[in-house]
Amino acid sequence: MKCFYDAHEAVGVCKNCGRGVCNDSAAIVGKSLACKASCEEEVGVLNDLFFRNRTIYRRNAGIYTRYALVPGLLGVFSLGYALFQQDSLGSITGFYAGAGVLMLFAAGIALYNGRQFRKP
């Protein structure tokens, strides 16, 4: 592949525009190559976005796990209330039991999603 800017052999590809660059027209920005003076700033922004994206992705696992606590506790409370108070609740016992099951299901989905973010 030839360099986009002159007839030299390209040593890499600009991360921003995808053009071939040689040693003379290439600038190293972080761990990336960029066209000297035209794409350096954009490649710096792309590298920063990539780093922040990785950080946010890792934090999502913890967020989903913490989110699972609220519906999990509400589900346990609702099911327990339905089971221990079924004599005094009468026909509304099914509502509390159903709500508890749905909340536990929501907590399970949140935990599953959190595990998906932990996978490499």
Helices (H), 1-120: 40-84, 86-89, 93-118
Displacement of CA 30 from its chain's centroid (Å): 23
The predicted structure's pLDDT at residue 120: 58
Q: Would you say how long the chain is, in residues?
A: 120
pLDDT at 13: 93
Q: One digit per residue, pLDDT tens: the chain, 120 residues?
A: 888 888 889 999 999 999 999 988 899 998 899 998 889 899 999 989 988 887 787 787 788 888 899 999 999 999 999 998 988 888 899 999 999 999 999 999 999 888 887 665
Token pair, residue 39, equals: 């794409």
Q: Which two tokens stand for residue 53?
A: 């994206």
Burial class (CB in 10 A: 0-12, 13-18, 19+), 44: middle
Q: How far is CA 58 from the centre of its chain?
A: 7
The pLDDT, as a whole number, for residue 81 is: 93
Residue 92 DSSP class: G
Question: What pTM was estimated for this model as a whole?
Answer: 0.57
- Report pLDDT for 12: 92
Give the HSE-up count for residue 22: Cα atoms under 13 Å, Cβ half-sphere: 10
